[in-house]
Structure 1
Amino acid sequence: MQVVRITAPDHSGTFFNQSALVDRHNNVITCSVTSQANHSSTVLFDMKHGLVCYKPDNQNTCFLRKMEGSDYDNVNSLLNVSLQQVNQFWLMGNETHRHSEYLGVIAGSQVDTSTLQKPIQDLCQQSSVYWTKRADGPGRQRLIYFCIDICFPSNICVSVCFYYLPE
């Protein structure tokens, strides 16, 4: 296992820290993103099972989605950095490519935690777990739950926002 620390600016230009724990044996990368207010959220990429799990700070909730091609590309950039034994690097705001991704919580999609694989079970123990799907963005009637910025060594930052879809 190896830890890679990334420092990057968020949308407002304020810096946040991100560390990634790379577990090659289990094909899992766990990113912890800490804001200036010292709030940490966790994003787990389980490449073996093709899942991404998001655990927001101070909530007993996890959100799941299936990995897509871009997720594999981004995660591989973290693997390549850890191969080079780099412990820390900085991304400059003018060098990064940013995009936003909206995920809506699927109504009635609560998952039995015992059916999940070990890395996700460990992250989400004693939490509610919900499936999500990609959405166009929150409508006026929808409540944004939280947003998290994730940056990768390939100079790509993704802002992921969650909200509940109406029934």
Structure 2
Amino acid sequence: MVTCWKRSENRLEETQCTDGAPPAALQSHFPHKAFWVSLSASLLLLVITLGLTGHLGLSQPHSQPSQIVRVSVQDQTGVVINQSAVVDQQNDLVTFSVTSPANQTSTVLFDVKHGLICYKPVDQDTCFLQKMEESDYDNVHSLLHEQTHQQSHFQLSGNETQRQTEFLGVLAASQVEVSTLEEPLQALCHNSSVHWTRRANGPGKQRLVYFCIDICFPSNICVSVCFYYLPE
């Protein structure tokens, strides 16, 4: 505050002065400056945020969507086998959903990366594991590496389809903890018991076949996988 003296006729009067600047101008100067500082800081933060978002978006790989392939074929009795396969090329997974004539669906998962096949029969709290063999890799190769997103349906000719039957013996004493399996198998066999199986020539007359699952591949091959429990 500056004190000024003003001569008024025969006496001096004490008044307040502001060095020639009006009071209103000084009061508006600081809010005006604070507004521009705040606006500049906000713009700077916005630019940094957009830059980080763009960098993260470019660094993340684009995941390929899963492809659904439907395979239909008539069995020897003329009944159409209804099944579909979800192909995950990024994770080397092929998941078959096989629907029986009684409208019951079983699931067969080919985990090519880890070399395993997992069977989840319908209406059962049990999964069965099998190690993939060369023929299994050949059967799913066309789905994983030769298909495009435009090829989503295959009609197999019954006269040209090769059919074969495989028997898998269930090893009752080799139960597997679900937590030790890979993530795709854990999701399929959640709250289920898991058993290893091994390929066998057949159950023999003294053993009964437990169940069978028919799987057809676009390579005109249909495989009937039948399970039975091995003797203790």
Q: TM-score range by the shorter chain?
A: over 0.9
1:3-57 CA deviation, whole Å, 9 max, x = no partner?
0001112343311211000001111100001122111011000011000001111
Other structure's SS at 1:93 match: coil
Letter of the 1:156 partner, please give it.
Answer: I
Check whether the contact 1:22–1:28 (CA below 8 A) recurs between aligned residues: yes
Check whether the contact 2:67–2:149 (CA below 8 A) recurs between aligned residues: no
Deviation at 1:142, TM superposition (A): 1.6
- 1:37-76 alignment, distance < 5 Å: 37-76=102-141
Q: 1:105 to 1:157 in 2, by over 3 A?
A: same
Structure 1: stretches of 5+ with no match in the other structure: none
Structure 2: stretches of 5+ with no match in the other structure: 1-65
1-structure distance, mates of 2:116, 2:87: 15
1-structure distance, mates of 2:77, 2:117: 26
The count of residues paired between Structure 1 and Structure 2 equals 167
Higher relative contact order (CA 8 A, sep 6+): 1
Alignment-derived partner of residue 163 in structure 1: 228
Alignment-derived partner of residue 117 in structure 1: 182
Q: Tell me the percent identity.
A: 65
Alignment-derived partner of residue 203 in structure 2: 138
TM-score normalised by L of structure 1 = 0.95
Deviation at 1:84, TM superposition (A): 5.7
Which structure has the bigger radius of gyration? 2
The structure that is helix-richer by fraction is 2
Letter of the 1:130 partner, please give it.
Answer: H
Deviation at 1:77, TM superposition (A): 1.6
Letter of the 1:127 partner, please give it.
Answer: S
Deviation at 1:89, TM superposition (A): 1.7
